[in-house]
């Protein structure tokens, strides 16, 4: 499995964030499951939140399929980026 660029990982994480913002119910689910507050989400959109978002979407197939469709990326590309951020899965 080939690695994807950090820039591409950032693009996917941004697509996840954009999707969360457009889906308040899903955003609430994300905040609840990750224990992230809205303020933390705004301030700490750095590595651990990016990793947390990718993890959330990787384990929520309907949400992952939606974000992949909206961002025009394949689920394979998404999962490659996810495993690059989370080598242990």
Q: pLDDT tens digit string along 13-43?
A: 889 888 988 999 999 999 999 998 988 877 7
14-44-30 Cα angle (round to 5): 65
The answer to whether residue 30 is domain-embedded is yes
64-66-71 Cα angle (round to 5): 95
The answer to whether residue 1 is domain-embedded is no
State the residue range of the domain holding 81: 6-85
Rounded Cα gap, residues 82 and 57, in angstroms: 9
**Angular region, 46: left φ>0, alpha ψ -120 to 50, beta rest:** beta
Looking at the chain, the whole-number percentage of residues with pLDDT higher than 70 is: 91
What is the reported pLDDT for 47?
61
How many domains does the structure of the chain reveal?
1
């Amino acid at each position: 499995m080939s690695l994807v660029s950090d820039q591409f990982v950032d693009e996917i994480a941004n697509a996840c964030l954009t999707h969360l913002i457009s889906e308040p119910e899903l955003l609430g689910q994300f905040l609840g499951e990750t224990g992230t507050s809205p303020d933390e989400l705004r301030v700490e959109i750095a590595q651990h939140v990016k990793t947390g978002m990718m993890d959330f979407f990787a384990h929520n197939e309907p949400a992952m399929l939606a974000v992949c469709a909206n961002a025009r990326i394949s689920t394979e590309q998404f999962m490659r980026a996810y495993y690059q951020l989370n080598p242990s899965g």
